[in-house]
Structure 1
Amino acid sequence: MSNTLTSSPPSATINTNEQAGAVVQKTVFSILLAISFSHLLNDTMQSLIPSTYPLLKRSLSLNFSQLGLITFCFQLTASLLQPFVGLYTDKRPQPYSLAAGMCFTLAGLLLLSRAGSFPLVLVAVSLVGVGSSIFHPEASRLAYLASGGKRGLAQSIFQLGGNAGASLGPLLAARIVSPYGQSNIIWFGVFALIAIGVLLNTGRWYRRNLTMRRKKAVSIIYESDPGLSKGRVATSLSILLVLIFSKYFYMASMSSYYMFFLIDKFHVSDQHAQILLFIFLFAVAAGTMIGGPIGDRFGRKYVIWFSILGVAPFTLLLPYASLFFTAVLSVFIGLILASAFSAILVYAQELVPGKVGLIAGLFFGLAFGMGGIGAAVLGRLADRTGIQHVFHLCSFLPLLGLLTGFLPDTTPKSKKA
């Protein structure tokens, strides 16, 4: 009698295991949409920081060097910490670290809304950066786990939220913060609270699937191993990092200085330039969904070819085009260039199976870093040579996409047989 009550039939155990496996063998869109929405909220709050620079400059009597130091502190904590966070969570996955990271962001926003001195502003933006460093590697791992094998699609959905948030932040700052003052930054804390609630829920799903994930870790790593030497993998990763450099340096020229280029060359109004910048950013958000699914279907190397090198004809034409065709070309540039990141990230994860967090942290960190460094370098160059000269030089950056030809095939060993 006691055996009947305390023991489960073998078939029940088998069915339970089968159900657990089925969860991660199919694409879990509810989880992907949840982390994409959280990414939107996270990047909305992040993009709030540079949007408040004019306000902080006036209220705290800051100079441009101090504003540059604010950017440096934010980018430093938001980029350099990510690979270390990813390396740690590869070994010790933390299901609730996403919600914990968002608490750092909340603390940073609350402090920023009340900061009455330059040092406090630096502490505030550093806290937001720490929150970003914790969020991106582990959220990328969660997308990987919920992908059901459609890793490119999963990363594209995740990235779509971030790109949408990056374009949304400045608009909300213009409506909520700029007209009413620094203290209204506190209202963005509501975004952090919503994100914490969403991420606690996804953390519970992540924790339920961790046990099964650990049991299958060895077989998954073997099956996805591309069978390359360590030297070939290191060379391939170096090429991918160069491609990230070319993409984000060019993106820095567009996101930071496109308006100034339009005003200088075509003498358009600020409002007209803002509309054209929004068109470009909207194209970037739309293009985010292209690279991942196409890479799943046809191969990521082809998407990288198309995304980096394929955009070169449009970037090379841009400095010589009329106003109308400049707007048209910017749409094609945004659509094509935005498709690169998801394909590059998943390709790199396939090169180094079992290190999803480390690779995500490295590439997200480099993307943040290149954006910050690119904006600073190109700004100084524009002061010396003129904004149009900067766009002429940057138009050649996508030609670095020729290096894609040296990337190996990453088809898993099990599929090559």
Structure 2
Amino acid sequence: MNRRVAALFLGHLANDSLYSSLPPLLPLLVAAYGLSTALVGAIPAVYMMVASFLQPLFGQLFDKRGKTWMMSVGLLMGGLAVMSVGYMESYPAVVAAAAIGGLGSALFHPVATSLSSSVEGDDRASNVSVFMLGGNLGLSVGPLIILSTLTTFHIRGTFVALVLPAIAALILFRLRSRLSKPSMERAEGVRVNRLALLLVLLASVLRGTATITLITFLPLYITSLGLSVGVGGLMLTVMLLSGGVGMLVAGRIGDRFNKMLSASALLFSAGPAVLLFSGTSIETVWLLAGVMGFTLMSAHPLIVVIAHELLPERTGLASALTYGVAFGLSNLFIPLIGSAIDAVGFSRTLQAMAALPVLAGLATLLTYRMRVVRREPASASTV
């Protein structure tokens, strides 16, 4: 693995471990402040919303200034914020700390994602896939990191949250001169079709909604079948691990074949797997969980690289839209999907959800047809 890609991988792992460190703290915060479920649930929600919807601001700033030290600042800001949660004296202060942590994540993500596709060579999709895999691993190890000290130091054990981000921030800061803003250039006389950009964002939101829905409700669906919580957790693990493998495989495929067609094929394959997931035998469900994770999650790095190639001079903004904003918008649909499950049941809702990856694949396929247009004096469809 390229040294710079490895550093970005570590940075992403450290950054995303901070968000997943918050849920294990929630029971302690309930006990400390007497919070309701709604109030305590607002803490990670505030973190996520700030981290998602402020990314375009910092993405555009990076496009203009190209300051790679923004990653180190974001990591330290996030680490200090999550650490401070265990030392705050009031609920509003905890929410403020969560918002600052989200701000740090918003600062880190568009810069690091943009840089992951700028490392020299023809392995842009593979590099972005490795970078994203770091984030997935970070979400997995975050609870383990924070729990390692909570048993001994109780809520004051949050100091451990700063360790990994501080190490990653130092490494990235020392490599800042070797990490440069992407230098992809657009061909002369060619401008990007605005509709193509909207289609890429739509594909990212649809894919994200399907993925987050499955991650959120898969364990509940499995327990509704009469199986144990442990089985649901193991099946979710199978899905996430398959997604990690899929990212690495898709990165290689995307570097050797057309990225848009590759992403479309993966998304089209996810639709039948989601459709068949409900109402089939438990043995088949295990297989389908792996297929869903592989196809849905592997398409994401390809979509991000497609956005980079559509906006070669503004990769920070492209990263923010297809990563942060898409993730935030996808999460907004989860309560509505939960209401649909309450109204019509898991099976019908999951069957309807099968349309989302298919529509995402169609949007990506349409992007392939209209990704660029020649500059026309009176054209209203270009930017």
TM-score by length of 2: 0.89
The correspondence for 1:260, drawn from 200, 210, 220, is: 220
**Displacement after TM superposition at 1:236 (Å):** 1.0
1:405 is paired with a residue of what secondary structure? helix
Q: Relative to 1, partners in 2 of residues 1:247 and 1:158: Cα closer, same or farther, differing over 3 Å?
A: same
Q: Relative to 1, partners in 2 of residues 1:289 and 1:56: Cα closer, same or farther, differing over 3 Å?
A: same
Q: Tell me whether 1:405 sits opposite 2:378 in the alignment.
A: no
**Which protein has the larger Cα radius of gyration, Structure 1 or Structure 2?**
1
The aligned residue for residue 200 of structure 2 is 240
Alignment of 1:212-291 (within 5 A): 220-223=184-187, 227-228=190-191, 230=192, 233-265=193-225, 267-291=226-250
The correspondence for 1:202, drawn from 175, 182, 198, is: 175
The aligned residue for residue 343 of structure 1 is 302
2:190 is paired with a residue of what secondary structure? coil
Q: 1:264-306: per-residue Cα shift (whole Å, max 9, x none)?
A: 12x1222222222111111112111122221121111111112
Do the aligned partners of 1:311 and 1:333 also contact (CA within 8 Å) in 2?
yes
Q: Tell me whether 1:366 sits opposite 2:310 in the alignment.
A: no
**Displacement after TM superposition at 1:360 (Å):** 0.7
The aligned residue for residue 317 of structure 1 is 276
The aligned residue for residue 111 of structure 1 is 84
Distance in 1 between residues matched to 2:51 and 2:8, nearest whole Å:
18
The aligned residue for residue 308 of structure 1 is 267
Q: 1:324-368: per-residue Cα shift (whole Å, max 9, x none)?
A: 211110001111111111111111111122111111112111233
The aligned residue for residue 10 of structure 2 is 37
Do the aligned partners of 1:226 and 1:351 also contact (CA within 8 Å) in 2?
no
More helix by share: 1
**Displacement after TM superposition at 1:412 (Å):** 12
The aligned residue for residue 333 of structure 1 is 292
**Displacement after TM superposition at 1:263 (Å):** 0.3
The aligned residue for residue 187 of structure 1 is 160
The aligned residue for residue 157 of structure 1 is 130
Higher mean C-alpha deviation, range 107-116 or range 129-138: 107-116
**Displacement after TM superposition at 1:307 (Å):** 2.1
Do the aligned partners of 1:312 and 1:398 also contact (CA within 8 Å) in 2?
yes
Unaligned runs of 5+ in 2: 375-383
Distance in 1 between residues matched to 2:306 and 2:148, nearest whole Å:
40
Do the aligned partners of 2:211 and 2:297 also contact (CA within 8 Å) in 1?
no
1:221 is paired with a residue of what secondary structure? coil
Distance in 2 between residues matched to 1:396 and 1:51, nearest whole Å:
34
The aligned residue for residue 104 of structure 2 is 131
* Amino acid in structure 2 at the alignment position of 1:102: L
Higher mean C-alpha deviation, range 397-406 or range 135-144: 397-406
Instruction: Kindly tell me the number of residue pairs found equivalent between the two proteins.
Output: 372
Q: Relative to 1, partners in 2 of residues 1:316 and 1:176: Cα closer, same or farther, differing over 3 Å?
A: farther
**Displacement after TM superposition at 1:134 (Å):** 0.8
Do the aligned partners of 1:73 and 1:125 also contact (CA within 8 Å) in 2?
yes
Q: Relative to 1, partners in 2 of residues 1:384 and 1:48: Cα closer, same or farther, differing over 3 Å?
A: farther
Unaligned runs of 5+ in 1: 1-27
**Displacement after TM superposition at 1:310 (Å):** 1.6
**CA RMSD, aligned part only?**
2.4
Q: Relative to 1, partners in 2 of residues 1:247 and 1:222: Cα closer, same or farther, differing over 3 Å?
A: closer
Do the aligned partners of 2:52 and 2:327 also contact (CA within 8 Å) in 1?
yes
Distance in 2 between residues matched to 1:82 and 1:46, nearest whole Å:
16
The correspondence for 1:91, drawn from 64, 72, 91, is: 64
Distance in 1 between residues matched to 2:224 and 2:130, nearest whole Å:
36
Q: Relative to 1, partners in 2 of residues 1:50 and 1:300: Cα closer, same or farther, differing over 3 Å?
A: same
Q: 1:48-101: per-residue Cα shift (whole Å, max 9, x none)?
A: 123433333343222232134324321221011111101111111112111111
Q: Relative to 1, partners in 2 of residues 1:160 and 1:262: Cα closer, same or farther, differing over 3 Å?
A: same
Q: Tell me whether 1:69 sits opposite 2:42 in the alignment.
A: yes
**Displacement after TM superposition at 1:252 (Å):** 1.4
TM-score by length of 1: 0.82
